[in-house]
């Protein structure tokens, strides 16, 4: 399985000629080459994780593609056929097995509502928690997508998340809110935390790939 990192929170997984997109949102360049997509996963309803325009770029090329997301996304994306999933669910889409965890977005501020959010484990290899630090209990993590910067987190929490999960490999995500200097700082902290558990950090930039 091959991972391609796009800007911010968007990821592409490819296996046996089939594609899975995760969280293509407003901070991500318009998706291209979306043919042969067998599923889309949206972790939560915030615009930096999905937009109608990004979904249309996939659906227009793959009319029956399922879109897996929590209930909050189904309400926000009412023009699309959303398949609602919950924590504990497992679904199959082509060569991809998707397991869902969590349930709620991390708190941004007491004045801002907490929305539905699901983490997803793909083929028992890649775990991405969306906007949360939910740990998938009982799972030995191979590759962990690690949030590098967001209004709902500080880098100390990210470091503790990596230390707690001890993944074999990590890479940064959710980084488009950071300057270049901020990305470099977060990368260094994530790398340190990864190495404490014997893992390896990959400083992926948009367009970079990683074979899983």
DSSP 108: -
User: Quick check: is 59 in a domain?
Assistant: yes
User: Do residues 21 and 115 both lie within one domain?
Assistant: yes
User: Do residues 7 and 60 both lie within one domain?
Assistant: yes
User: Beta partners for 210?
Assistant: 3
- According to the model, what pLDDT value does residue 84 have? 98
pLDDT in tens, 193-212: 999 999 999 999 999 999 99
- According to the model, what pLDDT value does residue 2 have? 98
Domain hosting residue 49, numbered range? 1-131
Please give the tally of structural domains in the chain: 2
User: Quick check: is 209 in a domain?
Assistant: no
SS3 state at 121? strand
User: Quick check: is 212 in a domain?
Assistant: no
d(CA 32, CA 84): 25
- According to the model, what pLDDT value does residue 24 have? 98
Query: What b-and-e string marks burial along 170-199, b requiring 16 or more CB atoms within 10 Å of the CB?
Result: bbbbbbbebeeeebeebbebbbebbeeeeb
User: Quick check: is 16 in a domain?
Assistant: yes
User: Do residues 65 and 168 both lie within one domain?
Assistant: no
User: Quick check: is 87 in a domain?
Assistant: yes
Tell me which residues of the chain have a pLDDT lower than 70: none
């Amino acid at each position: 399985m091959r991972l391609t990192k796009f800007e911010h929170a968007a990821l592409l997984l490819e296996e046996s000629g089939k594609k899975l997109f995760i969280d293509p949102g407003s901070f991500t360049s318009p998706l291209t080459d979306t043919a042969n997509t067998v599923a889309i996963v949206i972790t939560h309803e915030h615009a930096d994780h999905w937009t109608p325009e990004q979904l249309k770029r996939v659906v227009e090329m793959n009319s029956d593609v399922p879109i897996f997301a929590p209930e909050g996304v189904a309400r926000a994306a009412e023009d699309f056929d959303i398949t609602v999933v919950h924590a504990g669910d497992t679904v199959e889409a082509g060569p991809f097995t998707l397991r869902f965890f969590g349930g709620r977005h991390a708190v941004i501020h007491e004045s801002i509502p907490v929305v539905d959010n699901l983490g997803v484990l793909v083929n028992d290899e890649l775990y991405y928690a969306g906007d949360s630090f939910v740990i998938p209990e009982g799972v030995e993590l191979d590759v962990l997508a690690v949030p590098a910067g967001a209004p709902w987190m500080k880098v100390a929490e990210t470091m503790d998340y990596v230390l707690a999960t001890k993944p074999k490999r990590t890479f940064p995500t959710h980084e488009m809110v950071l300057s270049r200097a901020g990305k470099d700082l977060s990368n260094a902290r994530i790398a340190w935390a990864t190495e404490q558990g014997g893992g390896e950090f990959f400083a992926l930039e948009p367009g970079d790939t990683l074979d899983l």
